[in-house]
Each structure stands twice: as structure tokens, then as C-alpha cells.
Amino acid sequence: MDEREVTRYLALARINVGAGLFALPGLAAATWVGRDAQTAGVRTLARGFGVRDAIIGVGLFRALENGDGDEIRRWLLFGAAADAADLVGTLASWRRLPPMRRKLVVATIVGFGGLGLWLSQQFA
């Protein structure tokens, strides 16, 4: 599997995660924040995060289709920046998040962000 194929899978993952957060915000956000995901405020924010991730995924996918390395790199860095913001938010609320979920979420955020950063260097 080469870098373009891994990047394509990352783009599709972002689109799917985004669609899930938008379509089923209470269910999808529960993996991140637990019972609080059922509140109107969290569901509203989850939909916004979902659209953000879907847009990043679509932008990345289109950049791959266009074959423009600089554009691919830009979208990968946009995704990594979004992941960094999610990590800061998660760490800021660490003690108030469900213990097992917070570890899983941090691992996912770091995994997505780290992969995006590494891939961005492959297109430099």
C-alpha cells in the first residue's frame, strides 16, 4: 500500500466519521463525551464537527483525484490542525470525560493527526 492509497483511506475515514457525527450526533459523540452527548448543545457541536471532518475528507479526496501534491499536503495539514484542536479540547476536559472513552478518543485523535502529519511529509 503506497502513500496515496493510505491517504485515500484517511479521506474516506474522515468523510464517514463526519457523516456519522452529523447524522447521529448523540450516538457518535457518546464515544467521545459519554452521556453528555444526549444534550442539545453537544449534539449541535457534534454536527458542526461532523461537517468539518467531512469537508476535510472531501477536500483531501478531491486533491488526490487532481493529483496536486501541494493541495494534498494542505488538506492533510488542515486535518492535522483540526485533530490538534480536538486533542486540546479533550485534554482540557480530561477529568470530566468517561475514563475509558477519553483514552480511546485521545489514541484515535493522535493516530489520525499523526498519520496526517506523516503523510503530509510524503507529499512535500
Domain ranges of the chain: 3-122
Which stretches of the chain are DSSP H helices? Answer: 3-23, 25-33, 40-66, 69-92, 99-122
What rounded mean pLDDT belongs to the chain? Answer: 96
Confirm whether pTM is higher than 0.85.
Answer: yes
pLDDT tens-digit series, residues 67-83: 999 999 999 999 999 99
Distance of CA 55 to the CA centre of its chain: 10
Provide the grid cell at 121: 511529509
pLDDT tens-digit series, residues 72-114: 999 999 999 999 999 999 999 999 998 988 999 999 999 999 9
Q: How far apart are CA 35 and CA 14, in angstroms?
A: 24
